Amino acid sequence: MADLGSGLVKRILVIGAAGMIGRKLVARLAAQGGAELIQHDVVPFEGASAVSDLSTPGEAEKLIAARPELIFHLAAVVSGEAEADFEKGYRVNLDGTRQLFEAIRLAGEGYRPKVVFTSSIAVFGAPFPDAIGDEFLNAPLTSYGTQKAIGELLLSDYSRRGFFDGIGIRLPTICVRPGKPNKAASGFFSGILREPLAGQEAVLPVPETVRHWFASPRAAIGFLLHAAALDTRRLGDRRNLSMPGLSATVGEQIEALRGVAGEKAARLIRREPDPAIMRIVEGWPRNFDARRALELGFRADASFDDIIRFHLEDEAQKKSASPLPARA
Amino acid sequence: MADLGSGLVKRILVIGAAGMIGRKLVARLAAQGGAELIQHDVVPFEGASAVSDLSTPGEAEKLIAARPELIFHLAAVVSGEAEADFEKGYRVNLDGTRQLFEAIRLAGEGYRPKVVFTSSIAVFGAPFPDAIGDEFLNAPLTSYGTQKAIGELLLSDYSRRGFFDGIGIRLPTICVRPGKPNKAASGFFSGILREPLAGQEAVLPVPETVRHWFASPRAAIGFLLHAAALDTRRLGDRRNLSMPGLSATVGEQIEALRGVAGEKAARLIRREPDPAIMRIVEGWPRNFDARRALELGFRADASFDDIIRFHLEDEAQKKSASPLPARA
């Protein structure tokens, strides 16, 4: 067990530290203090301890040279890119993960770190039950989901064999994702909140009846820290967990936006139906029964109002340009 | 669709042709005629077209050089060995499979063979429902099961991307397995029938109440041929199927033995409880709801009497030493 407060964790390795979740996690760990942070990503970034491609032979060995007691493995080629570039997706998401796991196994000398792996609800593929439970088949419909499902299987087997102490957490779609709009098919779920909150227009490509599964960045960081501190003996041999989230329709998202930021903000959403995006979104999970994670103490956001307020609070610190005040 | 009777399949590659299932499949394909057989295994055997380690870079490319329209991938390091030798299991069962799939992908020029992959009920791990359905989680409890589950995920993704036309079939425990007793923990399920049928004593290490999931070698060959001929458009994106089998207790096995070969044969079973084997067997699946495979036309054995009679018929041809006549 990696008790972050106990002083037993002297070094923490964050792989994928330059990503949105990585940066927020590092900020939180740095604020807590008490452990040396080793920050890694494939792109150069402020605070980097190492910049390299995890899938290049030998790189994983270097990253664990200081024998970090706790490792967060967040690095991945995202869904759209893994679909567009088959070889890159398998190289980074499968081979990179396997090389990290192999480096730990081969380190020997009793080295047995805690490994927190971010998986995804993309390990599931339609058709779904009304709420996806903890025993539902992993039948991904993307190469990204396939690579994450394989990472989960490896994590379980390496943990069962005693090579490390792993836990995989399947994150809901993160909302509100800060920063610029991106071209991910899921981008509009954040865009229809983030842009109007900043006084900008946003495009909604699907009907308001579309339902999806969400967590705020703040909840996601909470999942990671809770996973790191969790006694994995409570998991048994099933080391991968669907995280609790908030199941909401686009209409409910907009209602929350209206409640927090007023009708003027809601009017900035422009409906532009896009059949291509609708087809992709139809294959995505809508709702989960995350009973196991809840029993293990993982906590979802309480409401979409909270998700929007957390966004305003967390992002307002960084840029004062936000035209709307945060309500606590 | 690989219609074996249509003449469209000119070459058939069997990987793992020296194994028990491989030999029976090759014999059946040879009897059907009409296609050139390319037989491969890692050990030398009579009739071999090629002997090599599939996981050695470059070997998979050589195997598909003649562009077989149909490939049976049966090769695997078995459960016990994959557990005892971690690196060998991953090298052969994961890397070997992936290199075959990659060789096909990279062949290009419109090459898109049908690939029939033998998976295993070891992709499932306890705790189980009463009958394991088609949407139950793959949570293996062995490295072998992990490697088969990863093979299934790769098969689905490569098929979805159009690199080949794959189907994975999860075989029940094969019974009666011909030949000498082996040291597999599951060996007694065949041993308690095969040895008494040959007038020999057999050891039963578990109580008669133990329930398991069985198919005869003849049923298994039937699954492979049906999978090869199946129009995979009927599968959608879920390319892996639990095969139908016979759920039976050890007591029911013995009752069938008594019915076919008499009380004298049944008395050759010596009870020698083995807590170590019992612990392993407790983690194994007992029963399935193989609705999907049944709807797709896969057929299980009708009874354990049949399983025993098939054994006597099929093995009597090879050695006249069998003291008990086959009943048709």
Cα–Cα distance between B205 and B189 in angstroms, integer? 10
A95 touches chain B (CB under 8 A): no
pLDDT digits (tens, 9 = 90+) for A185-221: 889 999 999 999 999 999 999 999 999 999 999 999 9
Q: What is the DSSP letter of A244?
A: P
Cβ distance B140 to A154 less than 8 Å, yes or no, reads no
Q: Give residue A157's Cα distance to chain centre.
A: 22
Strand ranges inside chain A, DSSP E: 11-15, 36-41, 50-51, 70-73, 114-120, 165-171, 173-174, 202-204, 211-215, 240-242, 246-249, 269-271
Amino acid at A156: S
Q: Give pLDDT, residue B318.
A: 61
Residue A276 clears pLDDT 90, i.e. is over it:
no
Is the pLDDT confidence value at A155 over 60?
A: yes
Q: Cβ separation of B153 and A146 shorter than 8 Å?
A: yes
CATH level 2 (architecture), domain B11-171+216-242:
3-Layer(aba) Sandwich (3.40)
Strand spans (E) along A148-261: 165-171, 173-174, 202-204, 211-215, 240-242, 246-249
- pLDDT score of A317: 61
Place of tokens 């040959």: B198
Please report which helix (H) or strand (E) contains residue B40, including its range. strand B36-41
**Mean pLDDT across chain A:** 93
pLDDT at A320 over 50: no
> Which residues of B are part of the catalytic machinery?
144
Q: A19 and chain B: CB distance < 8 Å anywhere?
A: no
Give residue A284's pLDDT band: very low, low, confident or very high (50, 70, 90). confident
B134 part of contact set with chain A, CB < 8 Å: yes
Cβ distance A161 to B86 less than 8 Å, yes or no, reads: yes
The structural domains of chain B, with segments of one domain joined by +, span: 11-171+216-242
Angstrom distance (rounded) from CA A228 to CA B163: 39
Please determine, for residue A2, whether its predicted confidence score (pLDDT) is greater than 70: no
Chain B's closest residue to A138, CA to CA, is B137
Give the pLDDT band (50/70/90) at residue B325.
very low
More confident residue, B320 or B139: B139
- Give the mean model confidence (pLDDT) for residues B134-160: 97
pLDDT at B301: 96
Please report the pLDDT score of residue B32 as a whole number. 93
User: What is residue A90's predicted lDDT score, i.e. its pLDDT?
Assistant: 98
What are B198-227's pLDDT values in tens digits?
A: 999 999 999 999 999 999 999 999 999 999
Tell me, rounded to whole angstroms, the distance of Cα B276 from its chain centroid.
25
Contact B137 A141 (CB under 8 A): no
Chain B residues with CB under 8 Å of A136 CB are 135, 137
Structure tokens given for A221: 């960081």
User: Where do we find the tokens 């008499």?
Assistant: B262
The pLDDT confidence band at residue B326, using thresholds 50, 70 and 90, is: very low
Within 8 A of B156 by CB-CB distance, chain A residues are: 139-140, 146
Beta-strand relationship, A165-171 and A240-242: parallel
Cβ contact B240:B152 at 8 Å: yes
Nearest by CB: A238 against B139, B154, B160: B139
Give the mutation candidate from A101, A128, A150 for the B interface (greatest B CB count, under 10 A): A150
* Amino acid A327: pLDDT: 38
d(CA A283, CA A124): 9
Say if residues A169 and A239 touch (Cβ distance below 8 Å): no
Residue A316: per-residue pLDDT: 76
Beta bridge partners of B12: B37, B70
pLDDT given at position B319: 53
Amino acid letter, residue A75: A
ipTM above 0.85, yes or no: yes
Q: Which of A194, A219, A217, A192 is nearest to A324 (CA)?
A: A194
Residue B327: pLDDT band by 50, 70, 90 thresholds?
very low
Q: In what order do the strands lie in the sheet with B165-171?
A: B50-51, B36-41, B11-15, B70-73, B114-120, B165-171, B240-242
Concatenating the DSSP letter of every residue in A72-109 gives: EE-----HHHHHH-HHHHIIIIIIIHHHHHHHHHHH-T
pLDDT tens per residue, range A230-267: 999 999 999 999 999 999 999 999 999 999 999 999 99
Pairwise CA distance, residues B89 & B105, whole Å: 23
Question: Chain A closest CA to B133's CA: distance in Å?
Answer: 10
pLDDT by residue (tens digit) across B90-140?
Answer: 999 999 999 999 999 999 889 999 999 999 999 999 999 999 999 999 999
Mean pLDDT confidence for A151-170:
98
Which fold does the domain A11-172+216-242 belong to in CATH?
Rossmann fold (3.40.50)
pLDDT given at position A1: 41
